[in-house]
Structure 1
Amino acid sequence: MDTTTPPSLPGNRINVYLQTLIKVKKGLPFGQPVCVSPSHTINTTEGLLHLAALIGPHIAILQVHADIIDDWSYETACQLTSLSQKYGFLLWESSRLLNASIDVIGRIQMETREMRNEMMDLIRKTYTRGIVKTASWSPMASAWSSGVPINNQEADLLIPTLRTAAREAVSHTLKTIQTEITTERPLCRPESGASADENAAVSARKQSTISLTQTITQHTEDVPQDSLEEKRRVPSIPECGESTPCSAEAGIPPPPIYARGLVLVLPSMTQTLFKPEYRRTSIAAARANQDFVLGFISPDPWQVTSKKEDMFEDIPDEDDDTAPGPYSTNEENPLPCLSVYSIIPYQLGVMDGKIIDEVEEDEDGKAVAPSPSQVEPNNPIARRIFYIVEQALKSRDGTDEVNTNPYTNTKVMNGRKLLHCPIIAIP
């Protein structure tokens, strides 16, 4: 299955979906496409699903630290996917960086051809194999860029390897689902003479053998036939959360669970440990692979990055292979979009030394409330998210008034959109 965006839609379907959520998901705090990063103390499937059910109506992305979930399994991924379908948010496996082949100054390590091939195979298997199998269920993953020269992106092995691996993983998932659905049919009745002969042979065997066959059949039926597409067993909403309609009832489209994308780590312009060329080549890699690279995760605070007007100024347009591409600024050909993920500092989640869910009212004695177009959250974790976003907006804009225009987080720079997504760590 082709997981890239159709030619009529520049960029990746995941970024298109994020832009759609900003427009239609009324529960987003002040219209911001919030990404929540769970605490390291959440290390069980039950705890992770409980959190996802609580905050699902109010987020755009949930980071999943699968490596620290003690009882992680295929069923965990299925239930997370079901919750993302129910409430309309994306999943981002963020516990690992797929590419670790650069040193601390952003210089790619010297490798022979054989070493590079072995490294690419290891990265591919890190993405698709093992217990977690990120590519089979998570729309989003993270990596450093390869650090190839800006004008020679064709030499990059990392992004093409991961793109191909993602397509193969999705195709395998779809094939597995089809196999699970169709395996019941030959168990019920034979479709050919050979099958009839085999069935007669089974009937002639001892009763114990027939009993074993029935056990295998029951096991097959227990496998989720709809795996990642249809409704599965979903944990009920915790009592402290309000009864929120599912995404379909609220007019929110389900996420593109078979789309895949990569978020590149982008060093800050002020970080001296990294060479400026590495930052530039990371941006060039994203520009050249907008069907698969979603954007960047930045070390700078969200209040800073979302105000920047010069994120791409360090790369002239002539260095950008995608600048003269087919995308124009008119409505018929919408601009490509890159997303930038940056954290809201934890200090904004604390007031007078207290965690937000311990505070019922603001300093004027009024409860923190979202704009009228949004859903008032009835659980403490959701209230904390709303408060943190509110304070971050005030800090960014330098005012006590919160701009609730949901489109202020999208900027147009050098012929492309930048979608700024705040990351909030929930302890």
Structure 2
Amino acid sequence: MSAVDDAPVNPILNYIQQLTETKKGLPFHQPVAVLTSHTVTDSATLFRLVSEIGPHIAVLQVQADVIDDWSDEVIDQLTYSAKKYGFILWEGSRILNSTVNLMGRGRANLATRKTIADLAKGRYVNGAAKTATWANLATSWASGVALDQQEQDVLLPTLRKAAREAVATTAKTIETEISVADGAEPVEQEQTPTSPPTQNGWHEFSADMGYALRKSSTISVTESVTLQPHVEPEDGVPAPPLLSRAMALCLPCDVDTAFTLEFRQGTIAAACANQDFVAGLLTSEPLFCEYHGNNLIDLAVPEGCDVSDEMEHNLLAYSPYLERNHSVGLFSLVPPELAYAFESDPIHTLNADSTSPGGQPRSVAKLEYMVGKALKMRDANRKENEGNQVPKDLPKGPSVLQCPMVILP
């Protein structure tokens, strides 16, 4: 079996793909992610929204830093809701690596890069949010290493190890609490190793640089423990992998001059080189409306990018890190201005209370409205640009799973 055939499956992305097939409430069968807006500042408002939209989403991005009464009880309730309705939890208020410019500079020595990576680890593991202990997804910029030198990355291996340790500790704590509650002696649960086996996969660490490109074990532990209180999603929806962790890497906007084309392609390469730990890319570009295809290579050179020779500059197309048989999630923002169209629609204006004319919660009606409008915009844009695609001889890359993001309420 080749390394490509034996590539690890990202449990978070795999679950989102399963939801598109099993969760009937998803608007237009799309794996929708909802980002809670800045107006959601207390847990009561948060859980009222979750109770309405839970059956209709694949991902919930929570801004923990703006919840005034954030606590362990709030985390427990979020975990319960995710398991009840079947969706992924994403802590979205923190960008773990905010020093991307320094991380990517060749003159930054290994000690400096390790220090910055440890700072990102601290944001991930510590603090009031305790992101690594409960959130399936977290957000980071890529470290900015050269496109063809992903084995030199320090950041993602550091975060991967932190995720593995946090999951093992969380699982052990849950098992102990259950044992004590049942009156039994606490069961000593074997923790997930902090480094993967030395066989059947790439090494997590190497002797020289300390890090190497790896095909490590999936970041999860067996869910033999029962997360309390016990509940399962209805209607055949699979239970979420609550003890799995992954990253979403920020993809620079095509109009952001602070980032080079090479950094954009390097970010995509980082996602591919770490596919067991990176579930996808997060972008503010309205690619759900404008993106033409489902080939990751198409994203490497944004539409309208001023390059002299697209094939010559698209270094990603020939990257050794692209394993062609897997998918990468693309979390792209549905244009917020569509919310204004919803609010000004006479039907919804006349029904400004919490329910829509069809009896749906207003938040659900807004979600379906925005996704529906975005789909129409995407289809119209594709029709307008038929025949104006990327070169036909561009190598085929990994497929893209588009996950539209909607800000609610």
TM-score computed with the length of structure 2 as normaliser: 0.75
1:267 equivalent to 2:252? Answer yes
Kept in 1: contact 2:342–2:348 (CA 8 A): no
Partner residue, 2:77: 79
**What is the CA-CA distance between 1:353 and the residue it aligns to?**
5.8
**What is the CA-CA distance between 1:303 and the residue it aligns to?**
3.7
5+ long unaligned stretches in structure 2: 186-222, 302-312, 382-393
Identity of aligned residues (%): 38
**What is the CA-CA distance between 1:291 and the residue it aligns to?**
0.4
**What is the CA-CA distance between 1:8 and the residue it aligns to?**
5.7
With over 3 angstroms needed to count, the CA separation of the structure-2 counterparts of 1:418 and 1:186, relative to structure 1, is: closer
With over 3 angstroms needed to count, the CA separation of the structure-2 counterparts of 1:114 and 1:103, relative to structure 1, is: closer
Kept in 2: contact 1:93–1:141 (CA 8 A): yes
With over 3 angstroms needed to count, the CA separation of the structure-2 counterparts of 1:98 and 1:416, relative to structure 1, is: same
**What is the CA-CA distance between 1:109 and the residue it aligns to?**
8.3
* C-alpha distance in 1 between matches for 2:232 and 2:363: 20
With over 3 angstroms needed to count, the CA separation of the structure-2 counterparts of 1:10 and 1:113, relative to structure 1, is: closer
5+ long unaligned stretches in structure 1: 1-6, 189-225, 234-245, 328-334, 362-367, 370-375, 400-411
Q: Which amino acid aligns with 2:112?
A: M
Kept in 1: contact 2:289–2:377 (CA 8 A): no
1:296 equivalent to 2:304? Answer no
1:426 equivalent to 2:389? Answer no
Alignment counterpart, residue 158 of structure 2, candidates 156, 161, 164: 161
**What is the CA-CA distance between 1:322 and the residue it aligns to?**
2.9
* C-alpha distance in 2 between matches for 1:425 and 1:397: 22
Partner residue, 2:88: 90
Which stretch of structure 1 is more off in the superposition, 25-34 or 106-115? Answer: 106-115
* C-alpha distance in 2 between matches for 1:98 and 1:112: 20
**What is the CA-CA distance between 1:182 and the residue it aligns to?**
3.2
Q: Which amino acid aligns with 1:349?
A: A
Partner residue, 1:34: 32
How many aligned positions are there?
Answer: 341
- Which digits, 9 at most, give the CA deviation of each residue in 1:248-276, with x for residues without a partner? 43000011111111000111334322111
Which stretch of structure 1 is more off in the superposition, 74-83 or 413-422? Answer: 413-422
With over 3 angstroms needed to count, the CA separation of the structure-2 counterparts of 1:247 and 1:388, relative to structure 1, is: farther
With over 3 angstroms needed to count, the CA separation of the structure-2 counterparts of 1:296 and 1:184, relative to structure 1, is: closer
Partner residue, 1:398: 380
Kept in 2: contact 1:98–1:123 (CA 8 A): yes
Partner residue, 1:337: 327
* C-alpha distance in 1 between matches for 2:342 and 2:62: 30
Kept in 2: contact 1:11–1:337 (CA 8 A): no
* C-alpha distance in 2 between matches for 1:169 and 1:15: 20
Partner residue, 1:408: none
Higher relative contact order structure (alpha carbons within 8 Å, sequence separation ≥ 6): 1
> SS state of the match for residue 243, structure 2?
coil
Which stretch of structure 1 is more off in the superposition, 163-172 or 7-16? Answer: 7-16
Partner residue, 1:378: 360
Partner residue, 2:170: 173
Kept in 2: contact 1:90–1:139 (CA 8 A): yes
Q: Which amino acid aligns with 1:155?
A: Q
* C-alpha distance in 2 between matches for 1:280 and 1:343: 20
Partner residue, 1:99: 97
> SS state of the match for residue 398, structure 1?
helix
Kept in 2: contact 1:267–1:274 (CA 8 A): yes
Q: Which amino acid aligns with 2:299?
A: M
With over 3 angstroms needed to count, the CA separation of the structure-2 counterparts of 1:392 and 1:86, relative to structure 1, is: same
Kept in 2: contact 1:261–1:293 (CA 8 A): yes
> SS state of the match for residue 144, structure 2?
coil
TM-score computed with the length of structure 1 as normaliser: 0.72
Alignment counterpart, residue 344 of structure 2, candidates 336, 345, 354: 354
